[in-house]
Amino acid sequence: MRYLCLIHWDEEKAFDRLPAELAGFVAAHRDFNETLAAKGQYVASQPLQKAATAAILRVRNGRIDVTDGPFIETKEQIAGFYLIDAETLADAIEIAGNIPVAPLATIEIRPCRDCVAAG
């Protein structure tokens, strides 16, 4: 089963870290990705740009409304994600606990729905 691991963190604190520390996280994530891939558990991962670069889209009554993000006031923003393959939620939790920035972040783990294409 696939699980989406959303990485939430406080952008203000995260980007105030020293460049060498941030570079260390990049290297740690690269190693983590390779470890997951070797086990057949890696599907995809990607860091995201700051929340201020987002656009929020809503379609209501056939009308598209776009707002510059973020719309919701919160201390933590979604900083990136991992899409992983894991047998159980317990396995996904164990994997997510090893995401290199987990000690600085909150990781939301959600099982993905299985969708079958019509036709």
DSSP string, 11-31: HHHHTTS-HHHHHHHHHHHHH
Question: What confidence score (pLDDT) does residue 11 get?
Answer: 82
CA distance 104 to 81: 14
Q: Using the 8-state DSSP alphabet, how is residue 35 labeled?
A: H
Question: What confidence score (pLDDT) does residue 117 get?
Answer: 58
Q: Dump pLDDT digits (tens) for 31-55.
A: 999 999 999 999 999 988 888 888 8
Joined tokens for residue 27? 């290297």
Classify 2-107 by CATH class. Answer: alpha beta
Joined tokens for residue 56? 């929020």
Q: pTM, whole model, 2 decimals? A: 0.82
Q: SS3 of 3, please? A: strand
- Counting Cα atoms < 13 Å in the Cβ hemisphere of 4 gives 10
Residue 83 pLDDT exceeds 80? yes
Q: Using the 8-state DSSP alphabet, how is residue 99 labeled?
A: S
Question: What confidence score (pLDDT) does residue 110 get?
Answer: 95
